[in-house]
């Protein structure tokens, strides 16, 4: 294994005003809170693609990428430090310099049940046959908490650099292995769009052979994957229907990813767009239900939320924010859902963007605003921290920030 380790002092705190607002009536709550906003990335570099997951004990882990003034690319991760109540200094993950950095197919990290680290990233190789080049999803692993890493491999080594693999997502499964879903290439030439595939690690180094989930999905929206604690896996993706309609579908596996049922189209947005939105869904599972957030640009546009029962029937659906984009979702230990999304707005002659956090429970939907001055905050992610707090992270003006938020304080 290659020896590759770098520690960077990145923590830098600012304090901004955070306003609580109710989603139910649109009125401000009676008070405000002060929340420390922390810069995670190097102030000298351009940063993006922040991703959050948890380690084998349920503690948050962050990853993100940076590019320096010479164009050199870096990939970092950080464990949550309980003593300082902050992410520890970032540590480097080896990454090939032809890696492709984009938010819908960002580099990301997952931790197996035994503590082994697995990091993925996309690469792009020029090709005369494809104007976008050939993309692949590569991975490296560490078995000593990031001190050393394996050499990079393709997630499907039998056919590396053939066609394109991209727009993946990771999830630690109920057996402790890591599952990955992605968009592949239709080698038959029969289907419009791209097939969705799934694979999982097999206990050692590497992924098992992949399984087909759906034959024709939207070409460039991220996939989402969730596991329910009982061996059931659900994959959500933007599907292609007649029209062209690009709505959200899901497919479930009852046997730990060995087989997947036919995809079910559930969002009913009827969004007809001749092009790819670059905006995929987010999914969590628990309590016998599936919870999903997504964006649509249909007649009733914005960020939406739905609850599906065990048969993938919609039991609840609502719009979270008409102006929202790029939604992500997590679930607290008590079953409360927390959604995050960015919302653009105009201030004077400038377009800016802010982060919204929405608490979803039996009491209703309550929205919390992270409003920074001169902000272009976008692509937020969210992950539970213990029983009461969440970590929300995002990219703003080429830097990565995060904040720790008490979920119970998000209330109208």
14-63 pLDDT tens trace: 444 444 333 443 333 333 344 689 999 999 999 999 999 999 999 999 99
What are residue 239's DSSP bridge partners?
A: 217
Query: What integer pLDDT is reported at residue 29 of this predicted model?
Result: 39
What are residue 376's DSSP bridge partners?
A: 353
CA gyration radius, the chain: 20
CA–CA dist 279, 26 (Å, integer)? 26
User: pLDDT confidence of 238, banded at 50, 70, 90?
Assistant: very high
Q: Is 229 exposed, middle or buried (0-12, 13-18, 19+ CB in 10 A)?
A: exposed
Instruction: Identify the residue whose tokens are 């102030």.
Output: 43
Give yes or no for residue 159 having a pLDDT over 80: no
Query: What integer pLDDT is reported at residue 286 of this predicted model?
Result: 92
Query: What integer pLDDT is reported at residue 110 of this predicted model?
Result: 98
Query: What integer pLDDT is reported at residue 125 of this predicted model?
Result: 80
Give yes or no for residue 412 having a pLDDT over 60: no
The SS3 call for residue 104 is: helix
Q: Is 105 exposed, middle or buried (0-12, 13-18, 19+ CB in 10 A)?
A: buried
What pLDDT, in 10s, does the model give residues 113-135? 999 999 999 998 876 666 666 88
- Per-residue pLDDT, averaged over 284-308, amounts to 96
Task: Extract the tokens encoding 124.
Answer: 């792009």
What is this structure's pTM? 0.91
User: pLDDT confidence of 241, banded at 50, 70, 90?
Assistant: confident
Structure-model confidence comparison of residues 156 and 366, the more confident one: 366
CA–CA dist 302, 366 (Å, integer)? 17
Task: Extract the tokens encoding 142.
Answer: 């560490």
User: pLDDT confidence of 399, banded at 50, 70, 90?
Assistant: very high
Asked if 327 and 319 count as a contact pair (C-beta separation under 8 A), the reply is no
Give yes or no for residue 87 having a pLDDT over 90: yes
DSSP designation for 199: E
What pLDDT, in 10s, does the model give residues 194-222? 999 999 999 777 899 999 999 999 999 99
Give yes or no for residue 2 having a pLDDT over 90: no
Sign of the Cα torsion 157, 163, 168, 171 reads: negative
CA–CA dist 70, 144 (Å, integer)? 31
Task: Extract the tokens encoding 251.
Answer: 């497919």
Structure-model confidence comparison of residues 125 and 375, the more confident one: 375
The SS3 call for residue 159 is: coil
What pLDDT, in 10s, does the model give residues 328-338? 999 999 999 99
């Amino acid at each position: 294994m290659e020896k590759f380790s770098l520690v960077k002092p990145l923590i830098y705190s600012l304090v901004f005003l955070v306003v609580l607002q109710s989603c139910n009536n649109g009125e401000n709550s009676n008070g405000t809170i002060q929340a420390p906003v922390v810069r995670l990335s190097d102030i000298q570099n351009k940063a993006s693609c922040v991703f959050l997951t948890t380690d084998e004990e349920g503690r948050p882990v962050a990853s993100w990428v940076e590019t320096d003034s010479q164009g050199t690319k870096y990939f970092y991760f950080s464990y949550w430090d309980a003593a300082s109540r902050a992410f520890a200094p970032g540590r480097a993950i080896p990454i090939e310099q032809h890696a492709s950095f984009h938010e819908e197919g960002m580099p990301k990290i997952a931790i197996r049940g035994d503590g082994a680290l697995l990091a993925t990233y996309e690469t792009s190789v020029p090709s005369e046959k494809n104007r976008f080049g050939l993309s692949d999803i590569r991975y490296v692993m560490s078995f000593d908490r990031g001190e050393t890493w394996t050499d990079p491999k393709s997630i499907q080594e039998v056919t590396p650099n053939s066609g394109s693999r991209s727009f993946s997502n990771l999830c630690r499964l109920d057996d402790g292995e890591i599952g990955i879903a992605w968009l592949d290439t239709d080698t038959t030439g029969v289907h419009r769009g791209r097939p969705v595939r799934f694979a999982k690690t097999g206990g050692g180094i590497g992924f098992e052979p992949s399984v087909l989930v759906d034959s024709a999905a939207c070409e460039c929206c991220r996939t989402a994957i969730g596991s329910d604690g009982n061996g059931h896996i659900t994959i959500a993706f933007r599907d292609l229907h007649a029209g062209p309609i690009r709505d959200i579908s899901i497919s479930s596996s009852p046997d730990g990813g060995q087989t997947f049922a036919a995809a079910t189209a559930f969002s009913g947005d009827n969004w007809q767009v001749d092009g790819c939105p670059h905006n995929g869904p987010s999914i969590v599972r628990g309590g016998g239900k599936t919870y999903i957030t997504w964006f649509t640009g249909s007649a009733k546009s914005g960020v939406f939320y739905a609850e599906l029962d065990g048969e993938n029937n919609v039991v609840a659906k609502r719009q979270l924010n008409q102006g929202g984009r790029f939604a992500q979702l997590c679930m607290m230990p008590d079953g409360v859902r927390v959604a995050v999304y960015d919302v653009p707005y105009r201030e004077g002659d400038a377009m800016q963007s802010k982060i919204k956090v929405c608490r979803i429970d039996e009491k209703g939907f309550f929205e919390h605003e992270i409003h920074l001055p001169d902000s272009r905050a976008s692509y937020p992610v969210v992950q539970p921290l213990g029983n009461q707090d969440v970590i929300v992270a995002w990219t703003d003006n080429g830097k990565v920030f995060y904040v720790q938020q008490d979920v119970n304080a998000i209330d109208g």
